[in-house]
Structure 1
Amino acid sequence: MNIFFACGVPKSGTTWLQRIFDAHPEVCCSGEGHFISRFSVPMSKVVNAYNRGLALETEQVYERRPYYADIDQAEFDDMVRAFVLKRLGARADAQTRWIGDKTPNYTHYLPQLHRLFPAAKIIHIVRDPRDVAVSRMAHSQRAGVPEALTPGSEQHRLTVESAVKLWLEAVAMVDAFARDHPTLVHELRYRDLHADPLGETERLFRFLGAPVNPVLIQRIVGATSFEAMAGRKPGEEDLSSFLRKGVVGDWKTRLDAESARRISESCGELMRQKQVPA
């Protein structure tokens, strides 16, 4: 089975990416497993406590001759790997040959994923941080924090700052991993997926090694278009929907000038490297 993981800053198009993968008959992409942050990291604390307990009993009861060795890194990785594979396989069927999980914050855990699955491929989607900020504001409003959309409010400021921090961290971490493992990482830009969905979708599946043909790609793109998924044309906004608007450059009309300036100043160098237009 071919394993892959998809990631990107929240509100960068990771769910769209997941649905594109899942629309291929030989590819299964679930979301969001959070296998490292919600399983491996907490489980490591359990294992460390277990090892400490063994050591204490060995010292106090068994005269330093333990019956059980400590759980080492290799055994721990085997446990986590088995858990992940079982979870990944829960939705797979007889046709599935490529299986993956979309979790945005895998951007921060690529070395851990690589240790568990050395051959796994990584797909990273990058979106203009100004559009990320606007989408995060709308998400906060939908979650019951309407002040996030109000320029000058504390919640608005915190939302912008959080978007900047996460964007800088995620992009830098994926770049660092890609420098060490260039053949394992495919990066695409949200705006390119909008501008050329057929070409970008074909490139995605070719990177995985999954079979593609024009008819299949056309069907996948049609099934995962904004209109097909949201029931609205791109640009028709619904603030109550997860699929809010489906456009590129929404920040130009929705983001106040001061916030746009702060984001551009903070992220400018990486935006240029990622060919994000000013």
Structure 2
Amino acid sequence: MTLLNRLGLKNRQPVEVAPPAPPRQFFFVRGHPRSGTNWVGALLNLHPKINCFGEFHFEDIRNAIDTLQGHVWQITSREPLKSELDRCFEDLVRRCMRTLESRKPGAEWIGDRTPRGLRVFLEGAPYIMIARDGRDVLLSWTYHVLRQRPHVVDVVVPAHLRSAFQVKHDHFNADHDYFRKHPEELLTDEGWVRFIAGRWANWMRADREAVRQIQQGELNARVLPIRYEELHADTEGGRRAMYRFLGLNPDEAAPLGKENRTTPGFDQEDPTSFWRHGRIGDWKRYSNDRFKLWFKEAAGEALVECGYEKDNNW
């Protein structure tokens, strides 16, 4: 009998002590819908110290707080409550993002990937903002909405454009290859083209202004602007720049691969898939003179400002 047993004590198995969890830092990926935010998130997740997921849509909560703070007749517009609301919002963002920890416990960085405009939610946080040619955005968004169920279409398509869009939706559901066979028929609704083009133009101007404010020190954050087209042309170089932006060693990341959809583009086009094509300049296949006119009038200046065209003679 061992001494421990004689003393009435039993041998105990050694307790396994888990290593301390790494400190969590937070970042954000932003961009217009169909600009490549999902792709950026997938590229970032190749790094063992990054855990990027979406979509949190903190904008809705921030907008509600902004509304409360804007009511000058209410206590929520005055100190100390006004600043306390801001602190509570930042705490909410961090707490919500920390719910992702179990997905990748060893990650040091937790990222929110949401296709929305660039707004600073956490002071000093890094932001990766991706932009894409508005004409490709329009094409990709159109296909994205075409494959949705009617109740989703009713939400994302404005009421005054719904009847015209429904005709295209019916064509697509009857034959998913209809617009690949008849590309000249896809971008023929003036209201739809102007709506998406104008939204993209306003979005780009707002994002460019936010980038300027961050770079000039007017907003407390860090930002890495990237282009979809440049990332497509040099995916390896682009992702290494993103890792370095977060202070990480790019050599620790896993390789690009088709199985995790991190290589640029896709071998085959699938109109029914969220990952339809990923091709640069695909809009040209569907272009027509009326489409060009409408887009130029709604977003031609933004195309030039963003460097996608030298002038409106395209």
| TM superposition score normalised by structure 1 | 0.77
Per-residue Cα deviation, 1:163-204 (whole angstroms, up to 9, x for no partner): 212211221112111212127221111111111110111111
Amino acid paired to 1:169:
N
Choose from 187, 190, 206 the match for 2:228.
190
CA–CA distance in structure 1, aligned partners of residues 167 and 39 of structure 2: 25
Does the Cα contact within 8 Å between 2:129 and 2:224 map onto a contact in 1?
A: yes
CA–CA distance in structure 1, aligned partners of residues 201 and 31 of structure 2: 11
Choose from 147, 158, 177 the match for 2:168.
147
Q: Which runs of 5+ in 2 are unaligned?
A: 1-23, 150-165, 170-178, 216-220
Which residue in the other structure is 1:271 paired with?
303
Comparing 144-153 with 239-248, greater Cα deviation is found at 144-153
| Structure 1 pair 48–249 and aligned structure 2 pair: CA distance change class (3 A) | closer
CA–CA distance in structure 2, aligned partners of residues 257 and 235 of structure 1: 30
Choose from 245, 250, 269 the match for 2:277.
245
| Structure 1 pair 44–94 and aligned structure 2 pair: CA distance change class (3 A) | same
Comparing 188-197 with 148-157, greater Cα deviation is found at 148-157
Which residue in the other structure is 2:205 paired with?
172
| TM superposition score normalised by structure 2 | 0.69
Query: What secondary structure is seen at the aligned counterpart in 1 of 2:189?
Result: helix
| Structure 1 pair 76–53 and aligned structure 2 pair: CA distance change class (3 A) | closer
Which residue in the other structure is 1:24 paired with?
47
Which residue in the other structure is 1:221 paired with?
256
Per-residue Cα deviation, 1:49-107 (whole angstroms, up to 9, x for no partner): 9x9599xxxxxxxxxxxxxx976221101221121111111112442211221111233
Query: What secondary structure is seen at the aligned counterpart in 2 of 1:221?
Result: coil
Query: What secondary structure is seen at the aligned counterpart in 2 of 1:123?
Result: strand
Query: What secondary structure is seen at the aligned counterpart in 1 of 2:249?
Result: coil
Per-residue Cα deviation, 1:205-251 (whole angstroms, up to 9, x for no partner): 111212211xx45x3422xx4x6439997252111110011211111
CA–CA distance in structure 1, aligned partners of residues 186 and 278 of structure 2: 26
Choose from 114, 119, 122 the match for 1:103.
114
- Deviation, structure 1 residue 135: 0.6
Query: What secondary structure is seen at the aligned counterpart in 1 of 2:116?
Result: helix
Does the Cα contact within 8 Å between 1:230 and 1:243 map onto a contact in 2?
A: no
Amino acid paired to 2:291:
S
Which residue in the other structure is 1:135 paired with?
140
Does the Cα contact within 8 Å between 2:187 and 2:193 map onto a contact in 1?
A: no
Amino acid paired to 1:262:
W
Query: What secondary structure is seen at the aligned counterpart in 2 of 1:229?
Result: coil
Does the Cα contact within 8 Å between 1:47 and 1:71 map onto a contact in 2?
A: no
Choose from 229, 250, 266 the match for 1:234.
266
Which residue in the other structure is 1:117 paired with?
122
Amino acid paired to 1:15:
N
Query: Would you tell me which structure has more helix in proportion to its own residues?
Result: 1
Amino acid paired to 2:266:
P
Which residue in the other structure is 1:201 paired with?
239
Does the Cα contact within 8 Å between 2:30 and 2:128 map onto a contact in 1?
A: yes
Q: Which runs of 5+ in 1 are unaligned?
A: 55-68
Which residue in the other structure is 2:94 paired with?
85
Per-residue Cα deviation, 1:116-162 (whole angstroms, up to 9, x for no partner): 42211111111111111111111121015462668678983333222
| Structure 1 pair 3–230 and aligned structure 2 pair: CA distance change class (3 A) | closer
- Deviation, structure 1 residue 46: 6.9
Amino acid paired to 2:277:
K
| Structure 1 pair 261–138 and aligned structure 2 pair: CA distance change class (3 A) | same
CA–CA distance in structure 1, aligned partners of residues 285 and 293 of structure 2: 14
CA–CA distance in structure 1, aligned partners of residues 41 and 202 of structure 2: 22
CA–CA distance in structure 2, aligned partners of residues 263 and 237 of structure 1: 25
Q: Percent identity?
A: 26
| Structure 1 pair 29–228 and aligned structure 2 pair: CA distance change class (3 A) | closer
